[in-house]
Structure 1
Amino acid sequence: MGYKNPVISIQGMDHGDPAVCKYNGKYYLYHTGPREIRVYESVNLIDWELQGIALHASDDPDHWAQIGLWAPEIIHENGTFYMYVTAALMNSDGSENDDVRRIGVATSKNPLGPFTLAPQPLTDEWSIDAHPFKDEDGTYYMFYNVRNEYTRGPNGVIGTGNVVDRMADLTSLSGNPTMVVKPEHLWEGNKDHSFFWNEGPFVLKRNGKYFQMYSAGFFGDDTYGVYYATSDTPKGEGGMEDTSWSKWGDGEPILRTNEACLGPGHHVVVKGPDGVGDYIIYHGYEPGENVRERRVRVGRFRWNGDNIWLEPPSLDTLPTPTMPTFDGRFLPSISQINEQLLKHMYENYFFETNVRTGGKSASGDACYVDEANAVRWIIDPKEKTVKIYAVKGGEEMANNTVALQANFNEEAYHLFQVEKRGSVLKIFLNKLLVAEVDSGFSEGKGIVRVNEGKVAGTILTKLP
């Protein structure tokens, strides 16, 4: 089976700046809209169904978010969904006031919404394209786009650039932005070189190095594409003149216009249904349409060593994103999930589920050989700890106990992941590494079990 791009294409509608949030085994996609943010749902990243409106602009004449809801990005933390979105004030004729365009946040308890806008924006200057990034220590940073004297392009021509600020919490910034990238080359602007863009940030971390992907050029034609820069730190100390980030390949694009897509860009990267493969979700124009409507596309993302490779736009049928070896995302009970997991004993695997404790302990086996040889985990909301311990020959050999966050929500689902390679297991809770355990089992193969708690979105993928 396969698919063809674009995966979302509705005549008469622009689907610019798509972003995807994965939650409990499903994907939710949001995109730019004049006065509303639509939300689509999928289980495979390819087949999307419109679910309705997640966010409406405010009708309050004094509110910061009256029109121009641009580039939403959504995260889930501790039971709350946070949508970071750009909005503008409305002129008296109903048009957007581009001089007063700022980033703010809206929240919901459901990925479908409705989201409620905060009364005040996060930024007090012209700003768009918010991207929240969670570092390995749990610190959140906001990467976003600004237009000021520091972001001018070649020959001092007006332009936009990406900056980063540490988030004080998920609804406020520290207020000390630092430069990440700004236009440096003539190809990062429109064809008459009267305006330049570096925008649409998305950040990944690999082997201790930070990678900020971004879009450059004019979003309305074939100059637009995707690029990236690297740094040893997410936020330098040089303020708006910081030079911690360096553009890869002297600013060469890694995704560009071809016969299949005009102006590809403004993307996110998301794990596929197997929890292992990476995919880029981006927008672009159909070359033959001649309408100002961007379509949603999906492509493969890969690491070539420490370099990023993106699948070029194609007119061909592409392979459907890889499904997990065991797909228990929508099985209703732990007993049914465990019954199927018993059939999957591997030396190397990736396991993912979402756990809700509901005021009680949740537990399971990250690797089970037999009753005397296992690696076990317990999330205890009363003790406010997560404990990881290995049992070998009937004796407890290792014990890692980590404190849960102080405001741990017992009624929320929390992402729990295990990566096993040989005898070594890495265990993550809400994308943070909780423990790395060497079980020391002479037999490398094992199974995964869930013993107590409520779970959703459970998958197991065999690794090579």
Structure 2
Amino acid sequence: MPLHDPFVVADDRSRTYHLYTSNDPAVSGVDGTGTMVYRSADLRDWTRPEVVFRTADQHGIWASDGAWAPEVHAWNGRFYLFTTLHDENKPLKVPPANRWGTPFQLPNHMRGTITAVSDSLSGPFTVVDPERPTPPENLMTLDGTLYVDPSGQPWMVYAHEWLQTVDGTMEAIRLAPDLTRTIGDPVFLFKASDASWLTEQIPGGMPHQLAPYITDGPQLYRTPDDSLLMLWSTYEKNVAGDDGTISGGYVQTYAVSRSGDLTGPWDQRRPLVREDSGHGMLFRTFDGQLMMIVHRPFENARGKLYEMRLTGSELRVLRRRADLDGGG
């Protein structure tokens, strides 16, 4: 099962798990950029995926590439798909300076999460605003997710690309009650370099700006004791080679809001899974077991499942479910 950025909806009514990922024409049999869904009753045996969203079917849509990190959320009796599109032919203005005080020259282009809606988990999904992404279009963003705060206010939480900031950030913006537009300005949550363990293997004095700090794949999760967690992914850094170049592997980590509110402050915790794994999300099985799904490796990715344990705000891996994900 090829899949990247997996997202599972456990539908109680049908007792069916829906696993959303970017369309792979070689698997779905349907050409085009979009989203496909696998279905299963037991997390082990899955149907052939069906395409539920295609950019080619959206009249006047602003971008037709990407369709990364699809998520589907139930809201007010309908289902909302978030997925990230981009258009490399629509450049963005490069910021005049980065956090190091020097010009940042990597090219930026339009990238952001769109919102689409359907009356069914099976789609088809129709984009609500074909002219622009949901977050501000002057920002290069990705991996938008839905969070509803205790007052009932919906938010989109997203990653602001390191390509535009060097030190990638997590940000949030309020959504209208029907999720069709944003309200107000983005709110900064934290930056990737707040995770102090990221640079533990880099010797003192080495210019850390040579290695960008990446934010990927936010997912918010409210615990039984009312703590607020955010799963997110990044690249752990280490020194590779005698020339001082810095590289690293993809990791799944998480943060905890000290206040229990979206605005934090956020305390960064140690990684949950390494081994070039990430973009995970939490869900509960129909028998109540907390599970995490990630993709591994980053290239030619497959889904990996883990049983998890929550103790207060502490999240831990209990065991890898190789019996479900095919091992390896």
TM-score by length of 2: 0.74
CA distance in structure 2 between the partners assigned to 1:302 and 1:74 by the alignment: 24
Deviation at 1:117, TM superposition (A): 1.5
CA distance in structure 1 between the partners assigned to 2:6 and 2:162 by the alignment: 25
Number of matched pairs: 276
Would you say 1:200 and 2:213 are equivalent positions? no
Would you say 1:235 and 2:262 are equivalent positions? yes
CA distance in structure 1 between the partners assigned to 2:109 and 2:167 by the alignment: 14
Change (3 A) 1:267 1:203: same
Q: State the match for 1:20 in structure 2.
A: 8
CA distance in structure 2 between the partners assigned to 1:146 and 1:188 by the alignment: 20
CA distance in structure 1 between the partners assigned to 2:59 and 2:152 by the alignment: 37
Deviation at 1:318, TM superposition (A): 6.5
Match of 1:267 among 255, 280, 286: 280
CA distance in structure 2 between the partners assigned to 1:50 and 1:308 by the alignment: 32
CA distance in structure 1 between the partners assigned to 2:10 and 2:255 by the alignment: 25
Would you say 1:77 and 2:62 are equivalent positions? no
Q: State the match for 1:177 in structure 2.
A: 186
Amino acid aligned to 1:126? M
CA distance in structure 2 between the partners assigned to 1:317 and 1:84 by the alignment: 30
Q: State the match for 1:53 in structure 2.
A: 51
Match of 2:266 among 245, 248, 260: 245
Match of 1:141 among 133, 155, 158: 155
Match of 2:304 among 297, 306, 314: 297
Deviation at 1:64, TM superposition (A): 1.9
Q: Deviations over 1:3-45 (max 9, x none)?
A: xxxxxx34xxxx1101112222211111134712111111122
Deviation at 1:303, TM superposition (A): 0.9
Deviation at 1:98, TM superposition (A): 5.9
Is the partner of 2:121 in helix, strand or coil?
coil
CA distance in structure 1 between the partners assigned to 2:140 and 2:117 by the alignment: 22
Amino acid aligned to 1:19? F
Would you say 1:165 and 2:170 are equivalent positions? no
Identity %: 24
Is the partner of 1:50 in helix, strand or coil?
coil
CA distance in structure 1 between the partners assigned to 2:293 and 2:253 by the alignment: 15
Would you say 1:102 and 2:134 are equivalent positions? no
TM-score by length of 1: 0.54
Q: State the match for 1:31 in structure 2.
A: 21
Amino acid aligned to 1:178? V
- Gapped runs of 5+ residues in structure 1? 1-8, 153-157, 237-242, 258-262, 287-291, 321-464
Deviation at 1:190, TM superposition (A): 12
Q: State the match for 1:224 in structure 2.
A: 250
Would you say 1:255 and 2:273 are equivalent positions? yes
CA contact (8 A) 1:60 1:66 kept: no
Amino acid aligned to 2:231? M
1:445-456 to 2 correspondences below 5 Å: none
Q: State the match for 2:146 in structure 1.
A: 132
Q: Deviations over 1:390-444 (max 9, x none)?
A: xxxxxxxxxxxxxxxxxxxxxxxxxxxxxxxxxxxxxxxxxxxxxxxxxxxxxxx
CA distance in structure 1 between the partners assigned to 2:59 and 2:200 by the alignment: 35
Q: Deviations over 1:205-239 (max 9, x none)?
A: 232321111111179x9611111111114333xxx
Change (3 A) 1:80 1:224: same
Is the partner of 1:82 in helix, strand or coil?
strand
Larger Rg computed on CA atoms: 1
RMSD across aligned positions (CA): 3.2
- Gapped runs of 5+ residues in structure 2? 24-31, 91-106, 203-207, 238-246
CA distance in structure 1 between the partners assigned to 2:197 and 2:307 by the alignment: 29
Is the partner of 2:22 in helix, strand or coil?
coil
Deviation at 1:99, TM superposition (A): 0.9
CA contact (8 A) 2:162 2:214 kept: no
Q: Deviations over 1:341-362 (max 9, x none)?
A: xxxxxxxxxxxxxxxxxxxxxx
CA distance in structure 1 between the partners assigned to 2:300 and 2:201 by the alignment: 19
